[in-house]
A and B are shown apart, each in its own frame.
Chain A
Amino acid sequence: MNSLYYQKRLSRNIGDKFFTSLSVICALIAILPLIFLVTYILIKGGSQITPELFTLEPNPPGDDLDAGGINPALIGTLIITTIASIIAIPVGVGGGIYLAEYSKGGAFSRFIRFGVNVLAGVPSIIAGVFIYALIVSTKILFGSMYSGLAGGMALSILMLPTVIKTTDEGLKLVPNELRYASLGVGASMYTTILKVTLPSAFRSIATGVVLGIARAAGETAPLIFTALFSYYYITGFGDLFYEMGSLAVLIYNFALEPYDAQNKLAWAASFILVLSILSVNIFSRILAAFTEKTKRV
């Protein structure tokens, strides 16, 4: 009779209690520092934000008076990420189209899919080393060594696997009936892809690509010896072929300076970088959740 009631002292119940509290403790240990980290960045960095920050050049470290702003780095990050996107998106979407629409699961497509996964796991600094050997040290780009262009190329290597994967997976989710219908009314393969399958997978592909761009914007390792850093305003097209600053490299350089003013600039840059990356992430998540809901109806 008694055995039908919950018995506190039973060893299995004690064990269950123990492990439950253990997992709660794990979750707390895991999450508390993370919450602390984010709030610290937002508060410490947010308190450094001034209007001049967005318009001035950073002053070279040394005088501990005024650090200046981060305008060149901000613009540099935008330019370098744009260059990376211009290279990685067409190549990645094209490759993804081949994998999802044309390949028939043969050895070639299996090899490429495998290669995409391997490339995604290549350490980001290796991409920088590769571009350094290929472009910076050979001065192949019109005799310029370190340049924003080289930095953009290094970043594009990191973006490429993400773009291919999301295109491939997004296209695979498009129901085959759409393809049959399109081909059935006499459309050619490329019309089918460009007018039917790509548009219907557009949102999921766009979400993945935007997330990939956001990730690339925060990458530092591939830039430190391809784009290097610059203290000066970006004034024209020709600046693409010279050293170019970026927020990520600015944080790295100025965090290691012994001067307080530079450190503060690094916090301000982190604030801007983290805030924009997080908002892109949150926005695309909401968008993805919304799409999923409308599709299921």
Chain B
Amino acid sequence: MEEKLPLFKNRKRFGIEKNIDIIFKNTALVLSSFVAIILLGIILVVFFQSFESFSRYGLKFLVTSEWNPVKDEYGAFTAIYGTLVTSFLSLLITIPLGVGTAIFITEDFVPKVFREIIGSFVELLAAIPSVVLGLWAIFVMEPFFRAFFVFLHNFFGWIPLFSTEPTGRNSLLAILILVVMLLPIVTAIARDSLNQVPKKLRNAAYGIGASRWKTIFSVILPAALSGIMAGVLLALGRAMGETMAVTMIIGNSNAFSWSLLSPGYTISSMLANQFGEADGSQVSSLFYAAFVLMILSLLVNIFAQWLVKKFSLKY
């Protein structure tokens, strides 16, 4: 009655099943190489579109600041200078604030609940779109700081950085809104790298009698330095490429000025402003500027990745 079932049954895979397997693998392979294709595509397209301008102006494009569609004269110095100055100065303000906040969150100054709330609040802020930050900067920050800028000009006007009469939107406001944008990024990454430092190190430092801040400065911060540096570089890349908030508040003027209180330009705000209406060789010049921006942010990003690989924690 009882039928004896074979314990093992040799089942050959059908050809079609094998083929599906192979097709699936190759589809995934092709899809993953899309990343490389898009990346190369971006670099090549932007390069070839900028070729006309590149061959006409060469490297002179980088150091002259004439931008005159009527006379067909183009130079992006003001924008490149603006990009570098706004991103570096905003980072200079952000780093101490962000790292200080991260230390505050990772040490036990206040109960853990509060620290977690602050931490996740800061992370949420990174999600606010930059165009909303720009709107806020125009209607809240600019009126708020107006009196302060006048004061700055009156008392420190002899410094070239504050030498122009403040009139509405200017580079300093762009720097400040970049600080608001970058703070969540730097704080979050600094907090993560501080948290990754093993507890052993801290206990050892306390054990030989180091005070809390001696431990932080001599043990914890050095151990977390590579992570923090990488985060700072990522933030730098973000600051250089940031478009909307900066475009809305920087004033968009191609007239070069050393003063932070005068309207300025960055490469991305120049693109946002002019790309829609540009034609002829102006388009090519804008592509050239875009190419410069891309190279700058690529270099910063690659350097950040290299830094992470080279100096990642070895504990």
Q: Would B275 and A132 count as touching, CB distance under 8 A?
A: yes
Residues of chain A within 8 A (CB-CB) of B301 are: 117-118, 121
Residues of A within 8 A of B183 (CB): 30, 34
Q: Least Cβ distance of A102 to chain B in Å?
A: 6
Interface string of A43-75 (1 = CB under 8 A from B): 000000000000000000000000000000000
8 A Cβ contacts from A238-267 to B? 248, 251-252, 255-256, 263, 266-267
Q: Which of B1-56 contact A (CB under 8 A)?
A: 11, 13, 17-18, 20-21, 24-25, 27-36, 38-39, 41-42, 45-46, 49
- CB of B120 within 8 A of chain A? yes
* B46 interface neighbour in A38, A126, A255, Cβ under 8 Å: A126
Interface flag for A114 (CB, 8 Å): yes
Question: In this complex, what residue of A is CB-closest to B216?
Answer: A19
User: Do A126 and B293 touch across chains, with their CB atoms under 8 A apart?
Assistant: yes
User: Is there a chain A Cβ closer than 8 Å to B222's Cβ?
Assistant: no
Cβ contact within 8 Å between B38 and A125: no
Whether the pair A30, B98 counts as a contact (CB closer than 8 A) is yes
Q: Which residues of A contact B59 (CB under 8 A)?
A: none
Mark each residue of chain A from 1 to 44: 1 if its CB lies under 8 Å from any CB of chain B, else 0: 00000000000110110011011111101110111011011000
Contact indicator B135/A266 (Cβ below 8 Å)? yes
B232 within 8 A of A: no
Could you tell me if B244 and A252 are in contact, using CB atoms closer than 8 angstroms?
Answer: yes
Q: Is the C-beta of A186 less than 8 angstroms from some C-beta in chain B?
A: yes
Tell whether, in the assembled complex, residue A94 and residue B39 are in contact, meaning their CB atoms are under 8 Å apart.
no
Query: Given the complex, which residues of B lie within 8 Å of A111, measured CB to CB?
Result: 36
Which of B66-74, B103-111, B151-159 faces chain A? B103-111
User: Are B35 and A119 closer than 8 Å at their CB atoms?
Assistant: yes
Stretch at the interface among A78-86, A157-165, A174-182, A200-208: A157-165
Judged by a CB distance under 8 angstroms, whether A195 is at the interface is no
Q: Tell me whether B29 and A119 are in contact (CB under 8 A).
A: no
**Cα separation A161 to B36 with both chains bound (whole Å):** 11
Q: By CB atoms of chain A within 10 A, which of B96, B109, B127 has the most?
A: B127
A178 to B184, CA, bound (A): 38
Which A residue sits closest to B23, measured CB to CB? A190
Question: Does B130 sit within 8 A of A, measured CB to CB?
Answer: yes
Inter-subunit contact A221/B268 (CB<8 Å): yes
- Within the complex, which residue of B140, B180, B214 is in contact with A34, where a contact is CB–CB below 8 Å? B180
Separation in Å of the B293 CB from the closest CB of chain A? 6
Beta-carbon contact of A225 and B125 below 8 Å:
no
Are B136 and A221 within 8 A (Cβ)?
A: no
B275 and A225 form a contact (CB under 8 A) = yes
Q: Across the interface, which residues of B come within 8 angstroms of A92, CB to CB?
A: 31
A169 to B199, CA, bound (A): 26
B313 at the interface (CB under 8 A from A): no
Tell me which residues across on chain B come within 8 A of A116, comparing CB atoms: 35
**B107 — which chain A residues lie within 8 A by C-beta?**
23
The reply to whether A188 and B297 form a contact with Cβ atoms under 8 Å apart is: no
B80 contacts chain A at the CB level, 8 A cutoff: no
Q: Which of A113-154 contact B (CB under 8 A)?
A: 114-119, 121-130, 132-134
Please name 10 pairs of A and B residues whose Cβ atoms are closer than 8 Å in the assembled complex, sorted by A: A24-B104, A111-B36, A112-B36, A115-B39, A121-B237, A218-B131, A251-B132, A255-B139, A274-B132, A277-B128
Leading 9 A-B pairs by shortest Cβ distance: A123-B241, A26-B100, A218-B129, A94-B31, A95-B32, A121-B301, A98-B28, A190-B24, A221-B243
